[in-house]
Every structure is written in C-alpha cells, then in structure tokens.
Structure 1
Amino acid sequence: MKKELRDKIIAYNKQVAANKEKADDLLTLLGALPPGQVKNLLKDETCGAILAKYGITG
C-alpha cells in the first residue's frame, strides 16, 4: 500500500473516531439534563428536529 493512501486512511479513521467520541459525549450530557430542560429543547424547532433525528423524544 502506498504511504499516501495509508496516511489518508489513518487520518480518516481518526476523524471518524473523534466524531463518534463527540457524539457520545453530547448524548451523555443530554442524559444528565433534568427532564424539564430536555422538554424545553424539544419545544425549540431546530433543537427538537435534531433530537428527534437521533431518537430522543419527550
């Protein structure tokens, strides 16, 4: 395998791992919020759509 391709694959894998870690951290923070705060986020049009996209409902 060429070094350039190997480096590109490694960089991509690192980015995917970083994105997964961020998503897991945000879900952990969201889970720590009181239920009232989550309901407020769900009422917001933009936040509600994002949360619904990931299966988080009131």
Structure 2
Amino acid sequence: MKQELKEKIIAYNKAVAASKEKADDFITLLGALPPGQVKNLLKDEVCAPILEKYGITGA
C-alpha cells in the first residue's frame, strides 16, 4: 500500500472516531439533563428536529 493512501485512510479513520466520540458525548450530556430541560429544548424550533433525528423525545 502506498504511504499516501495509508495516510489518507488513517486521517479518515481518525475523523470518523472523533465524530463518534462527539456524538456519544452529546447523548451522554442529554441523558444527564433533567427531563424539563429536554422538554424545553424540544420546544425550540431549531433544536427539536435535531433531537428527534437522534431519537430524543419528551417521553
């Protein structure tokens, strides 16, 4: 395998790992919020679709 290709693959894998870590951290933070705070976020027209996209509901 060429060194250039290997470096691209490693960079891509690092980026994917960083994205997964951010997503996991985000879900952990949301899980730590009191239910009332999550409900407030779900009322926001910008936040609600994002939360619902990842399965976060008011229930």
- TM-score with structure 2 length normalisation? 0.96
Compute the RMSD of aligned alpha carbons.
0.4
Identify the residue that residue 26 of structure 2 maps to in structure 1. Answer: 26
Give the letter aligned to residue 14 of structure 2.
K
Give me the whole-angstrom Cα distance separating, in 1, the residues matched to 2:36 and 2:48.
14
Report the structure, 1 or 2, having the larger helix content. Answer: 1
Runs of 4+ in 1 over 3 A off after TM superposition: none
Structure 2 unaligned blocks of 5 or more: none
Identify the residue that residue 52 of structure 2 maps to in structure 1. Answer: 52
Structure 1 unaligned blocks of 5 or more: none
After TM superposition, the structure 1 = structure 2 runs for residues 31-42 of structure 1, keeping only pairs within 5 Å, are 31-42=31-42
Give the letter aligned to residue 8 of structure 1.
K
Q: How many residues align?
A: 58
State the identity as a percent.
81
- TM-score with structure 1 length normalisation? 0.98
